[in-house]
A = this chain, B = another copy of it.
Amino acid sequence: MEQYFVDTTIDQDSYILDDKEQFHHIITVLRHQLGDVIYLVDNNTNLFEATLANVVGKTAIFDVKKSDIATTELPIKVTIACALSKKDKVEWITQKSTELGATDIVFFNSQYSVMTWKGNVVDRKLERLQEIAKNAAQQSKRRMIPKVSYLNKFADLTKLDADCKLLAYEESVKNGETSALDRSLTNEIKSVIGVFGSEGGVSPDEVNLLQDAGYTSVGLGPRILRAETAPMYLLSVLSYNYELRMNEE
């Protein structure tokens, strides 16, 4: 059963859907009939079972009922911050990070970045990535759409706050560092930020800046992961640790 995000609070037992794109998809493309049921998620992250009750012009009227299906959101907030890379990688990171439960996705400009976004394209790029995040969130049955943003100044990363601040650092791998990640993932933390360099890594100055801001350098296993693979590793481990392991205790 497919799911759509609506950007309003559903607080009555009926909902009038008039978003053009959603209407087109539900009624014209998927040809839903009266009585068909879909999911709607409102801007309070609540999930509703919605039964198509009527179609009037270009609006669809649904009978809605709050669902008691458990949330699909990670119990901790996760910000994935990646150095800017090529278009397909950036899009791919956005899609996969959304599937795997990130709350925020940040792309940043760094000394070793292979590219930069000029001021005049940032809005257009972010709009496209936000659309990818929305589609991935719907498909993976998330209750929220991660926010995608861009930091032109590397130092602004230090303004992002989290209980646990991690820097995925290739040198840690080379030095055989193997336990910092696990030591960092305690039961107490409620939010994590992971910073990932581009293929070229982060510069020594940038590493120092982050360490001064309370970041811990962690290795993600002994193999050299590509820039787009490392965030998936972290998100998978966070899900395992906080959604599957913790459950048993």
Contacts and interface: CB of A to CB of B under 8 A. Distances in A.
Interface of A: 70-72, 96, 99-101, 139-142, 176, 178-179, 181-183, 219-226, 229, 232-234, 236-237, 239-241, 243-245, 247-248
Q: Number of copies of this chain in the oligomer?
A: 2
A93 to B, nearest CB: 12
A101 B224 CA distance: 10
A142 B100 CA distance: 26
Given A70-B176, A224-B140, A226-B139, A100 B239 contact: no
A243 B224 contact: no
> Which residue of A70, A96, A237, A244 has the most chain B CB atoms within 10 A of its CB atom?
A244
Contact of A71 (B178, B222, B247): B222
Contact of A247 (B70, B99, B179): B179
B224 A239 contact: no
25 contacts: A70-B176, A70-B222, A71-B222, A72-B222, A96-B229, A99-B223, A99-B224, A99-B225, A100-B225, A139-B226, A140-B223, A140-B225, A141-B222, A178-B243, A178-B244, A181-B244, A182-B244, A182-B245, A183-B248, A219-B244, A220-B239, A232-B232, A236-B240, A240-B240, A240-B241
Contacts of A237: 236-237, 240
